[in-house]
Structure 1
Amino acid sequence: MRQDNLLHTWQEGMFVIFVSHQWLGEAHPDPQGRQCAVLRTALQSMMDGSLKIESDPVTVMNRTTTFSSDERQQIADGFLFFDWFAIPQITARLEGVNEDETRSDAALAVQSIPAYVEVSNLFIALVPELTHTVTGARCNYISWLSRGWCRAELFCHVLSHNRYTSLVVVFSTTEAEYMFPLDWQLNAIADGAFTVESDRAAVIRLGELAVRAKIEHLSSAGPLSSYRFYLANRAQLLGQKKTWDVDAFLEEFRFSSFEAAAKDSNSMNGIMCAVFASDVDLIRSLVKSEADVNFRLHGLDHFGYFDSQTLLMAAAKSHQPAEVLAALIELKGDVNMQAANGASTVFMMRSPEQVRTVVAARAELHKGGLPLELTPLTGVSSWANVETVASMLESRCDPNPELRGIGYGPLHGIAFFSRSNRYANEIAALLISHRADVNRRVQPRNRYCFLCAVARAECAFNGFGASSLMTRVFASMPGITPLGMAALVGAEGMTNLLLESGAEPMANDRGDTPEDLAAANQHFHVLQSLATFSV
């Protein structure tokens, strides 16, 4: 590539696309060229507009973000950073192997990857579901997100000084979406997997430097709300623990007085900072000074915290210790308040301890509010871990609830969100062991019937493959089963589990079978599983 003048030294003003991926071999990163094939097609489709990049499925229900024509042109004129051609003589990181190379100039380039990320404009996580050619392990979004170096790349991009730090996840040639912000916030570098364990300490230091630099930059450049958000979340981002004394809190978070911190109505006011910092003593003191314990969030959508959600919801979904929720409830936080979409705090539980706390507070465990009307167990099954789901089931939550509103249940939820929940197969197996119906059909009601009808009309006009992912989802939703959901998103492990549990390849109301849905979204690995079970 150097001989063909295809390699360029970075210069100010370049639009740089950083591609992060998981190696599929040891001697070569992509022995069969399958990752590269997805990347080539996806980039071309981004440029010509045929690949619609939208917000993730959670965010899109609250706000919509799409690629603009200017961004498509920037990609067309941009430069690509891909480790195996941007770094000379790169080799796989293996314990006890290639140790001379790890001390070479090439290794120094590897260690400079965060600097390359820093100057990138667009970060692409290239995560099609493929098989590692040596280990046989499945490589996908979950496995990519578990790796320490991938988390470091992610952190360095998000925490760069660039004002716009787009993160796009490419699942297949027809599926790409903006990353859900909590996916990076709740995956600390310190907890990542490292092939070479000695890398951990060095990479953690990189993360610490990136967080510190981001906070220092926002301290002078603003906005103040972002500065406070990162400062409050610093301990969690770094996998550490910190409490604040009052004077340090006021000085560092830039409140003129404790009363001002308590009565501030801005998006990152005093009590929001205290909740994200997991500081129970500060929470109590702020409420004593008349802070609003039922404060509704606003202006934090870009961090994954949506308008109308409450302090208790923010505490739950940010994985705060149960003591934080208990303090808020004791201080008269309303555990049954609902967000604009009808979700409650229980819908957002992330640990068994949190569940026990809200159960003790007599939270509503069985019904969801308008308009979504999803039950709390559906939310917990979609985004929490297996222990939290077990705690909900122990509290007599029904795995086969009456379907209202958008019309899907817990097993549909975990099937749909399975490619971003590492506990998905365990959760589905637990639900099935509690007699969740593997062949239950989604039944949208009221406004969602209309939305699905509009989506079907759009797919009929534009073609199913040419429509955006969420349009395809809504068009496919009426009558879809958990197996159909798994096929739609290309979740092979979930597909196999459901088939082994007696799921039948039933068509949805549009007439699409699971095979049709997998094929339309280029999930050919799932087609193999479906074909095997249909013989």
Structure 2
Amino acid sequence: MACSAARGTTSALVQYAKLLRDQLPAGSAESNATEAFFPMYTVRANVLLEMAEVVPHEQLKTAKLLVEFDESLGNAAFVSHEWVGHHHPDPEGKQLRVLQDALKHMLSNLQQIPLDAFTEFYFPSAQPLPASHLRVAPLYIWYDYFSCPQLEFPILGTGPESPRPNLAKAVDSIPAYIARCKFFFALCPVVETSPLGKVFTTFSWNDRAWCRTERVLRELTPNDPWIIMIKSSTELELTSSFAPFFVVQPAGEGHFTDDKDRMKLAPVFQRALLCKMKLLLKSLDVVGYRFLLNKQNVYLRGFDASAVYDLVPGFTPDPVLGTDTAACAAQQFLFQNGFTTIDQFSGGWSALHFAALRGDPLVIQGLLQLRANVDRWTRRSQPITGVPAGCNALGICSFFKHHDCMRLLITARAPVDSGLHPVLAGPAVADDPEAIRILCAAGGRVFKVSLLGDASFDYSTAFGTMAALEELVTQAGTKIELRQISLNRSLYVASAGRGGSAEVIMRLIELRADLNATLRPNKPLRAFFATLGLQYQLGKRTLMTRWGYHYGGQTPLMAAVMSGQFEGAAALIAAGARLDLRNCRKWTAADFARGHSVPDFLTEALFHGQPEGCLRVTASALANARLEL
């Protein structure tokens, strides 16, 4: 139906965008989301390659090895990583050696950095990164211990824990540093540290609030939101920060060592979001603006900060369309988004889909009063949301943890099991037990599968979401569908995907999954794998085509080694996975490690039959998982 209150709002939106473009030329202070309060110190890549240990900023500065970065010098790379020591980021130099070897690999004869399997599968238009892009200009590295003051003393007269002024300025400048870097490295190899009794992995990196902050701020810069994941010297993946496993993990819900950082970062995110929205409007990217406008609540979750939804001036409600609060909220929503009709699509999404992304029950109620279709599906995958084509509004709400909106849509008779994907897939990926309970109470089927045969258990284990997995087990109860064949598939998917934590692996084995079972695909998945395998044989070498070529007879251990899920591989070996089995190409698990950089504990087990390191790593990972829970 037409909405007279919204009529002409597209021109109002465009007029405002043109006004912004004229008032805020590129490079003006107001058009930039970030400001640096401390120089951007970097080290040349060739200098980093010669380092024997990680030394502090002051020592490098004294040795004249720091360079104040300027874009005229070349390109910069921001290194996001966890500190693996109490008072030193890398006391044994384990991360440094991986970073050095990975840089040598990228700067030598590497042709491209491949997409991770999920990005390649869900967003087929995405392309690998030619490694030559890293070699076209001199490369400078920003690394916190090198680039930020470490040894300065607190201001005279204050306590030892008081802020250090230059360090504080450098930390406050991190958003600006990220914006100036052409490349973003996530340095997250498996590192075992005896002093801390911990194992650091991609899972722990993504749990840290500061690491999430760096990743999200990367999304909100004008640069492409691509991350080069460094899992070992040779295991490199190009991942979008908009990948489903990142989209539903906002910085505010990560682990803060000091909760004062949460308060400090709230206005940083507010400003970054506002400036990115204005940047999109200035470039007349109305579709991108709509997605970011309505995703603000997700970005700000966990912070004491409010989203800004009234950027476009001039809204006046139309009493003909209703005067109650919900009607006015819906009219303002349509006005701010530039929709002229309730059924209008933008970027493959309808107005109700955008409202589901925002998660405001009042707006959804108003749109329902205007007769919005509750079962209209998204027509296109949108990377910024992590939502594929074929989802309805209820599925979007369940992915983004909008529980009140879910209940409202269910009351409005939104079909629970509609869409191309199992409705429980969203909360399974988002690790949201409450959404799973809401959907199951409304008739959602735990064992509904996608076209390729994936059930909600597979989505949960693929992303390593333990709380969701436990809720799915509870909902399944003693149903016959929770049989070994389903669990076997989930174990394989966890090992091949991003869910290969020791905790997930051991829980599935506890539930009676066979740790040596192979994948039994349905007909569509067999056809899909056959196509991928043929592409591999014809010379297309990606992570997905390699998977399609090798999947036949491949055990979870083989899949974990091939996909770089080294913690999961250690857990499988610790649980007794056989090392002598071969897949359809006659490869053993050791063959998948041959020619690649894998941790010492895996080398010892796969090539020398010594599982003690895997047992130690698994025990440490499980102990820390229980502690965090």
- TM-score grouping bracket, smaller chain normalisation: 0.7 to 0.9
Q: Find the counterpart in structure 2 of residue 398 from structure 1.
A: 481
Counterparts of 1:234 and 1:220, CA distance in 2? 19
Equivalent residue number for residue 23 of structure 1: 83
Instruction: Judge conservation of contact 2:185–2:229 (CA < 8 Å) in 1.
Output: yes
Distance in 1 of aligned mates of 2:375 and 2:144: 47
* Cα pair 1:25 1:133 within 8 Å, conserved: no
Which amino acid in structure 1 is aligned with residue 568 of structure 2?
A: M
Equivalent position to 1:480, from 538, 554, 559 = 554
Q: Which stretch of the first structure deviates more once superposed, 453-462 or 374-383?
A: 453-462
For 1:227-238, list aligned pairs within 5 A. 227-238=289-300
C-alpha distance in structure 1 between counterparts of 2:469 and 2:370, whole Å: 37
Distance in structure 2 (CA, Å) of the matches to 1:7 and 1:144: 27
**Residue 338 to residue 200, structure 1, CA distance change in 2 (3 Å):** closer
Q: How does 1:133-532 map to 2 (within 5 A)?
A: 134-160=195-221, 162-175=222-235, 176-181=237-242, 182-239=244-301, 247=328, 250-251=331-332, 254-255=335-336, 260=340, 262-267=342-347, 268-297=349-378, 298=380, 300-321=382-403, 323-339=404-420, 343-350=421-428, 351-370=432-451, 372-383=452-463, 385-393=465-473, 394-395=475-476, 396=479, 398-400=481-483, 409-418=489-498, 424-444=501-521, 446=523, 448-449=525-526, 452=529, 467-505=541-579, 506-524=581-599, 525-528=601-604, 531-532=609-610
Q: Cα distance, 1:180 vs. partner? A: 5.0
How far did 1:117 drift?
0.9
Structure 1 residues 265 and 332: alpha-carbon distance in aligned structure 2, compared to 1, 3 A threshold: farther
Check the 8 A contact 2:188/2:231 in 1, yes or no: yes
C-alpha distance in 2 between matches for 1:385 and 1:90: 39
- Give the whole-Å Cα distance in 1 for the aligned partners of 2:119 and 2:153: 35
Once residues 429 and 513 of structure 1 are traced to their aligned partners in structure 2, the CA distance between those partners, rounded to angstroms, is 22
- 1:212 Cα deviation after fit: 3.1
Change in CA separation of 1:288 and 1:198 when aligned onto 2, cut-off 3 Å? closer
Match of 1:533 in 2: 611
Larger Rg: 2
Using the alignment, how far apart are the partners of 2:341 and 2:151 within structure 1?
Answer: 51
If the length of structure 1 is used for normalisation, what is the TM-score?
A: 0.83
CA gap 1:120/1:428 in 2 versus in 1, 3 angstroms: same
**Structure 1 residues 485 and 34: CA distance shift in structure 2, 3 A:** same
Of 109, 113, 119, 2:170 maps to: 109
Q: Secondary structure at the match of 2:436?
A: helix
* 1:223-252 CA-partner distances (Å, limit 9, x unpaired): 222222222222221126979865466446
Asked which structure has the greater RCO (Cα within 8 Å, sep 6+), the reply is 2
TM-aligned CA deviation for residue 69 of structure 1 = 4.3
CA contact (8 A) 2:215 2:241 kept: no
Letter in structure 2 aligned against 1:67 = P
**Residue identity in the other structure for 1:527:** T
Q: Which of residues 176, 188, 191 is equivalent to 1:130?
A: 191
Partner Cα separation in structure 2 for residue 397 and residue 238 of structure 1: 41
Whether the 8 Å CA contact 2:329–2:362 is kept in 1: the answer is no
1:33 aligns with 2:93: yes
User: In the aligned structure 1, how far is the partner of 2:68 from the partner of 2:144?
Assistant: 14
For 1:442 and 1:359, the matched residues in 2 are separated by 27
Aligned-residue CA RMSD in angstroms? 3.7
Q: Distance in 2 between matches of 1:137 and 1:500?
A: 17
Secondary structure of the structure 1 residue equivalent to 2:238: strand
The letter for the 1-side match of 2:79 is: V
Cα displacement (A) at 1:42: 2.7
Correspondence 1:61-140 to 2 at 5 A: 61-64=121-124, 65-69=126-130, 72=133, 76-89=137-150, 99=161, 102-132=163-193, 134-140=195-201
For residue 19 of structure 1, give the secondary structure of its aligned residue in structure 2.
strand
What amino acid sits opposite 2:263 in the alignment?
A
Structure 2 residue aligned with 1:60, among 103, 120, 125? 120
Indicate how the Cα distance of structure 1 residues 262 and 56 shifts in structure 2: closer, same or farther if over 3 A, else same.
farther
Verify the 8 A CA contact 1:418 1:494 in the aligned structure 2: no
Gaps of 5+ in 1: none
Of the structure 1 ranges 248-257 and 524-533, higher mean CA displacement relative to structure 2 is found in 248-257
Report the Cα distance in structure 1 between the residues aligned to 2:270 and 2:194, rounded to whole angstroms.
34
Unpaired runs of 5+ in structure 2?
A: 1-59, 310-324, 614-629
Pick which of 293-302 and 6-15 moved more. 6-15
Q: Is the partner of 1:262 in helix, strand or coil?
A: coil
- Worse-superposed segment, 68-77 or 431-440: 68-77
**CA apart distance, 1:271:** 1.2
Question: Residues 501 and 68 (structure 1 numbering): CA distance in 2 closer, same or farther, change over 3 Å?
Answer: closer
Q: What SS is found at the alignment partner of 2:256?
A: coil
Q: 1:1-16 residue pairs with structure 2 within 5 A? A: 7-11=67-71, 14-16=74-76
Partner SS, residue 354 of structure 1: helix
> Which secondary structure does the structure 1 equivalent of 2:67 belong to?
coil
Contact 2:488 2:513 in 1 (8 A): no
- 8 Å contact 2:277–2:293 — kept in the other structure? yes
How many Å separate the matches in 2 of 1:438 and 1:510?
20
Query: Are 2:464 and 2:498, in contact at CA under 8 Å, matched by a contact in 1?
Result: no
| Paired AA for residue 517 in structure 2 | R
Q: TM-score, normalised by structure 2?
A: 0.72
Q: Identity over the aligned pairs, expressed in percent?
A: 22
Judged with a 3 Å threshold, the aligned counterparts in structure 2 of structure 1 residues 514 and 445 are, in CA distance, closer, same or farther, namely same
Displacement of 1:127 = 0.9
